[in-house]
Amino acid sequence: MALSLYYFDVVKSDIKETKDWYKKQKPGLEKDFAREIKNCIQRIQQNPLKYEVKYKNVRTAFSAIFPYAIHFYINEPKQQIVIIAIIHQSRNPALPYNRTGNE
């Protein structure tokens, strides 16, 4: 059985801010970003255990095209992949630590 996806609310703003930035750089680039993140999330769903635990129980998957990382953990009792952050790799690496609590 495939694990369902759950996103912290703040992840939506992570994505919106990034798409807005890429759109300002070059119209249409925001669509490429969204497509790449969607593909990366699909790869996570196919094999979430493939990704190394980086801190606590949080795993990190990296985009193949954009310098972004998807931080997530597996909630086994709920059979969910919980995405806590989608952030640029140069941002403060402690940012997702603050999001590991219940939201």
pTM of the entire predicted model: 0.86
Residue for token pair 């597996």: 74
Neighbours of 78 (CB within 10 A): 11
User: Where are the chain's structural domains?
Assistant: 4-99
Which tokens in the block code for residue 9?
Answer: 């609310």
Interval 54-93: pLDDT, tens: 888 999 999 999 999 999 999 999 999 999 999 888 865 5
Q: Higher-confidence residue: 9 or 94?
A: 9
In the sheet that holds 68-75, the strands lie side by side as 4-7, 80-88, 68-75, 58-62, 53-55
Interval 82-101: pLDDT, tens: 999 998 888 655 565 556 55
What is the domain class of 4-99 according to CATH? alpha beta
Tell me, what DSSP letter sits at residue 53?
E
Mean pLDDT of the chain: 88
Which pLDDT belongs to residue 2? 81
Residue type, 85: A
β-strands 80-88, 4-7 pairing? parallel
